[in-house]
Chain A
């Protein structure tokens, strides 16, 4: 473990909060007032006592070094809150982010040391666990048979879906507008039964298309056609190139593991954003390898009401190993060993022009025709109003990428406009057939990365 010299920024800390109320409550505790006995150690522990409503102060400790383990900081607090992390942990980290003043360097008190030691012990055991259990040839045979059974069920589901699509086109898409959500929900449920969650998700999205405004028949035909393409891919997967077959399996919804060779690099955190769902929050973290030039996506999930574990604040960089998931054109990777904790960096990803960005998307479609968008950094673009919409126009040249409707609805649009002030900025985002979704921007002059999502 390396030295924890670098304190996080308040922004990074606030990114840990499970919701807006916690952010607010945590901010209020970010003053020295209620705290006593605060301190932080070189090993990455931060602790303090927080006076609450009652008599005994709460004991709060955070193991920031654990963020290096890829699972976010570990928290301990004696308060009864069910929020995680609780407002005390957030307040303490904010205070710590403020500098030596609020949280001086020191040796951890006995109670915090006990907790940290206990935690690291159980974690050590858990990590050692899977390797310890012997996986004999019997297991492999069983796994093969299970996989075969699942493939059969998916094939059944795919066949059924093909019939459903053929029926739809036989009678015409015009009828889909009246049919509403119901039939698609039912089909999606059949795909879940067939253990093809990827297909189920695509089918569910089909149900929303007829209500998506002008031009819906085109979009519905496109999505039906791509779904059909995926079905055909699955049915003929043995004849596909290995990479494309892997992509098809992943798109259908089969789990895969990140078995690519570990790539060590200095990874710059380009963006982190959550897509909340009633049941599951998905967190996407885009990384850029400053040496390899690779862009990678880390996914992390949180059950309802809980923030996903992994937190890598934008603008930091970490020396770590990533392993890629299989599949052509896949960016998804898993975080392996980390050699340094995330630390602020002045590095920025190199950028391209709008034409090159569009070309990259085309290129990606050749390997994975179901790709919605690709991660791209635009070098010098000016956010430009275009009627009711906005576009990112090349600072040199006369081409521009429109922003997606999702991006237009976000407050980040105005942060981007403010940051630019009519001057070129560097923008990282996702570029696809619907347009560009900006996620992070850098000013032309010196300045930190600004989150737009």
Chain B
């Protein structure tokens, strides 16, 4: 408050303060006689003055008011869901005692899913929840994109006022108010010319996501003046919405000064099966693989390239093999990876991908060849080839170290439709158990399809019966809590009891399992409740 008390007495008050500081033995207060009663006179005067000053207080002058936050036009969150959000945010780490997980749901683990759900339905966050949301997003970078999308324009407004939340201004990208909209050509141009690197990357990504050609044209305007590492990042943004119309630009980038830029351009071109680069690679790769009909069964023969010529290098083939790899097999792998898969059936006797993958391969080239095709199938998102290379989930080679590693399988699965993916992983788990399944489960869509969920629960049950401890499966258990369809929770009822311990079981394991299953069941019921509170998904709304 302004201490604009009536002016005439200001000096009297100052004199009182001075006398009080020095002491009445040294300074007689105004209007008092020196001596024994001076302190009392001082206090009397100060009391009257204090009450006077306080009673005379007036409001001060208003500072410039903040620019109002942009309006959030999304519908408000339903009441029950708003209360749920408060509960989810109250469960932040450090908000209470940590320690063993016990049988209660881990609310913080459910927040990402909940945010995805509200964003899919397009709700606006309650204003008073924004500080807690921003704090949560600050603590967990994995939450940021979804939390900031939900938090909306007002969170950015807040972040400008609080340095703790500056990250929100940096992290925000893609189609929101911080970046210029489609109609703001001038702002776009200005930001592209003068913005910080991160802002420019965000701008390019945002434009690319709604108008791929415009983004490429914008990039072309300044391409020759950008620094090499910036060119690499900008080029990378073309992955979004990659199309044949990007080919001329990418062809030009094949001649770039920077090796990394050239390699990335080549990789992008090879993901366009119709590109000239893909055609050149098809010719080179085709020369390396042939069917040998002179044997009892048709067999694939591999003849790796003998040199990496300048043309190959220009098309992105890296000439120097990493330590421990032969140069020829290194070049061979790169050629096959970049060649369009569609060329192989024609070249190898009209066989289907299945038939090609089934052919024996001479001279130990099988793993090299199949690994290269895997990379090609992933890059070109070719489901037919992925299917052929994955093989049957129950095949004995699938569980152990085969020609195709688990990491590659996971990537191959990513090219299949969700239901097929789930069915394949379910078959894999049924045949090989859970110990290798974690990576594969990670690429399945959430909630898990019924057969997959059933396979996981069955496998957990088998693991329990085998007498192992639940924490050997804590990774899968955690995934199950987040991914299992809540509709499946009734299947868990039989698993909640503490079973009699068989003699060879690990001590106490039964109780721990019961606890783990209880937590799983409770988490699923909570997730079902949370979904219900949000109401049905908006029709035509896009999930993220």
Q: Are B96 and A24 in contact (CB under 8 A)?
A: yes
Contact B162 A422 (CB under 8 A): no
Contact indicator B23/A28 (Cβ below 8 Å)? no
Most chain B C-beta atoms within 10 Å of own C-beta, residue among A175, A418, A433: A418
Shortest C-beta distance, A97 to chain B (Å), equals: 8
Q: Is the CB of A361 within 8 A of B57?
A: yes
Residues of A within 8 A of B470 (CB): none
Q: Which of A94, A400, A417 contacts B158 (CB 8 A)?
A: A417
**Do A174 and B21 contact each other (CB < 8 Å), given the known contacts A31-B105, A355-B58?**
yes
Does B51 make an interface contact (CB < 8 A)?
A: yes
Across-interface contacts of B130 in A (CB, < 8 A): 414, 418
CA of A28 to CA of B49, assembled, Å: 56
A-contact bits for B97-134, CB 8 A (1 contact / 0 none):
10000011101000000000000000000011111000
Contact with A414, one of B20, B68, B87, B162 (Cβ below 8 angstroms): B162
Q: Which of B40-48, B243-251, B341-349, B399-407 contacts A (4 or more CB under 8 A)?
A: B40-48
Q: Quick check: is A296 within 8 A (CB to CB) of the other chain?
A: no
Are A417 and B39 also in contact (CB < 8 A) when A31-B522, A173-B21 are? no
Complex: chain B residue closest to A101, CB-CB: B529
Partner of A174, one of B22, B46, B49, B525: B22
Which positions 403-449 of chain A face chain B at CB distance < 8 Å?
Answer: 411, 414-415, 417-419, 421-423, 433-435, 443
Contact between B23 and A418, CB atoms less than 8 A apart: no
User: Which of A114-122, A221-229, A316-324, A331-339 lies at the interface with chain B?
Assistant: A221-229
A128 within 8 A of B: no
Do A24 and B158 form a contact, CB below 8 Å, given A31-B529, A169-B23, A400-B62?
no
Contact B161 A417 (CB under 8 A): yes
Indicate whether A271 reaches chain B with its CB closer than 8 angstroms: no
B172 contacts partner chain A, Cβ-Cβ < 8 Å? no
Residues in A150-206 with C-beta less than 8 Å from chain B: 162, 165-175
Q: Is A80 an interface residue (CB 8 A)?
A: no
Task: Name the distance in Å between A440's Cβ and chain B's nearest Cβ.
Answer: 11
The reply on A37 being an interface residue by CB < 8 A is no
Bound form: Cα–Cα A361–B83 in Å: 36
Taking the nearest CB of chain B, how far is it from the CB of A353, in angstroms? 8
CB-defined contacts of A391 to chain B, threshold 8 Å: 60, 62-63
A415–B204 Cα distance when bound, in Å, is 34
Cα distance A31–B64 in the bound complex, in angstroms? 47
Contacting pair B127 A443 (CB below 8 A)? yes
Is A422 in contact with B95, judged by CB distance below 8 angstroms?
Answer: no
Smallest beta-carbon distance B531→chain A, Å: 13
- Which B residue's beta carbon lies closest to that of A431? B1
> In the complex, what's the smallest C-beta–C-beta distance from B345 to chain A, in angstroms?
54
| A 18-48 contacts with B by CB, 8 A | 20-21, 23-25, 27-34
> How many positions in chain A have a CB within 8 Å of any CB in the partner chain?
83
For residue B20, which residues in chain A have a CB less than 8 angstroms away from its CB?
A: 169, 172-173, 217, 220-221, 224
- Does A112 count as interface, using CB distance less than 8 angstroms? no
How many angstroms from the CA of A399 to the CA of B63 in the assembled complex? 9
Contact A34 B103 (CB under 8 A): yes
Nearest chain B CB to A180 CB, angstrom units? 17
By DSSP majority rule, is chain A's interface helix, strand, loop, or mixed? Answer: helix
Label chain B's interface by main secondary structure. Answer: helix
Contact of A399 among B53, B59, B161 (CB under 8 A): B59
A265 to B273, CA, bound (A): 79
Q: Which of B49, B55, B67, B68 has its CB near the most chain A CB atoms (within 10 A)?
A: B55
Residues 250-307 of B at the A interface (beta carbon under 8 Å)? none
Q: Is residue B170 within 8 Å, beta carbon to beta carbon, of the partner chain?
A: no
Stretch at the interface among A59-67, A253-261, A304-312, A382-390: A382-390
Q: Does A369 contact B (CB under 8 A)?
A: yes
**Across-interface contacts of A422 in B (CB, < 8 A):** 65-69, 157
Cβ of A99 under 8 Å from chain B: yes
Q: How far is the CB of B51 from chain A (nearest CB, A)?
A: 5
Q: Specify which of B22, B95, B518 is in contact with A24 (CB 8 Å cutoff).
A: B95
Q: Among B40, B57, B83, B128, which residue has the most Cβ atoms of chain A within 10 A?
A: B128
Per-residue contact bits, chain B 399-431, to A (CB 8 Å; 1 contact, 0 not): 000000000000000000000000000000000
State in angstroms the CA–CA spacing of A263 and B55 once bound together: 30
Within 8 A of A (CB), among B1-43: 1, 16-17, 20-26, 38-40, 42-43
Asked if residues A222 and B50 are in contact (CB atoms below 8 Å), the reply is yes
Question: Which A residues are CB-close (under 8 A) to B40?
Answer: 162, 166, 228
Report B-chain residues with C-beta under 8 Å of the C-beta of A174.
21-23
Chain B residue with the shortest CB-CB distance to A31: B526
For the complex, is B139 an interface residue (Cβ under 8 Å from A)? no
Q: What are the residues of chain A within 8 A of B97 when measuring CB–CB? A: 21, 24
Q: Kindly state the separation between the CA atoms of A446 and B249 in the bound complex, as whole angstroms.
A: 54
Choose one: A98, A169, A398, A434; the contact of B61 (CB below 8 Å). A398
Smallest CB gap from B25: residue in A:
A170
A240 within 8 A of B: no
B441-453, CB under 8 A of A: which get 1 and which 0? 0000000000000
Does A269 lie at the interface of the complex (its beta carbon under 8 Å from any beta carbon of B)? no
A166–B39 touching, CB < 8 Å:
yes
Q: How far is the CA of A374 from the CA of B177 in the complex (A)?
A: 42
Say how far B534's CB is from chain A's closest CB, in angstroms.
14
Using CB atoms and an 8 Å cutoff, list the residues of chain B in contact with chain A.
1, 16-17, 20-26, 38-40, 42-44, 46-47, 49-51, 53-69, 80, 83, 86-87, 90-91, 95-97, 103-105, 107, 127-131, 154, 157-158, 161-162, 518, 521-522, 525-526, 529
Q: List 16 A-B contacts (CB under 8 A).
A: A10-B87, A34-B522, A170-B23, A172-B21, A175-B23, A220-B20, A225-B47, A354-B59, A357-B59, A358-B57, A361-B57, A382-B66, A384-B63, A385-B161, A393-B65, A411-B131
Q: List chain A positions with a Cβ less than 8 A from chain B.
A: 9-11, 14, 20-21, 23-25, 27-34, 51, 94, 97-99, 101, 162, 165-175, 217-218, 220-222, 224-226, 228-229, 232, 354-355, 357-358, 361-362, 365-366, 369, 382, 384-387, 391, 393-394, 397-402, 411, 414-415, 417-419, 421-423, 433-435, 443, 450
The 5 tightest CB contacts between A and B, nearest first, are A172-B23, A33-B522, A24-B96, A422-B68, A225-B46
